[in-house]
Copies of this chain bind each other. A is one copy, B any other.
Amino acid sequence: MAPTDRFVSENTFYVRYAETDAMGIVHHSVYVVYFEEARSHYSRVQGASYADFERSGYWLTVAEVYARFGVPTRYGQRITARCWLGEFKSRGLTFMYEIVDAETGQVCVTGYSRHVCINHEGRVCKIPESWAQIMRKGIPGAQDDT
């Protein structure tokens, strides 16, 4: 369940036909894309743009992703992607996700992704302070492990 002690972003959209598979449901790989768009949205509503972050010379690479599939979703269904910060460290962070039916609130899929900050030379580095500040807003009491 989405936590109550930190910021949880929500974006709601329709399942696209191309996202379904021959089982008549959303293909499981698509939720990894929903997760990604959920964290794009998270940054956006926190006042940061991941596109700007990239342009400033950094990437948050994906180190791990996990998804647990409970209830299938289908074409035309309105779903809400919830996203919040799990862990925030100086060189990386974890995003948590919940994909829920937008009408009923039923939780369909959950998951997380772990990210590491690298620069465009591919070296692991500290998340730049301007971006770290914005991320820390979402997880009150978060301290850097610097």
Which residues of A are in contact with B by a Cβ distance under 8 Å?
13-14, 16-18, 20-25, 27-30, 32-33, 36-37, 40-41, 44, 49-51, 54, 59, 61-69, 74-76
Quick one: closest B residue to A29, CB to CB? B32
Q: A23-B59, A59-B23, A68-B63 are in contact. Are A33 and B51 (CB under 8 A)?
A: no
Q: How many copies does the complex hold?
A: 4
The reply to whether A28 and B21 form a contact with Cβ atoms under 8 Å apart is: no
Beyond known contacts A29-B30, A40-B76, A51-B75: 16 more, CB 8 A cutoff: A13-B13, A14-B40, A14-B44, A16-B40, A17-B27, A18-B29, A18-B33, A22-B24, A22-B25, A22-B74, A29-B32, A32-B32, A49-B76, A51-B76, A65-B69, A66-B66
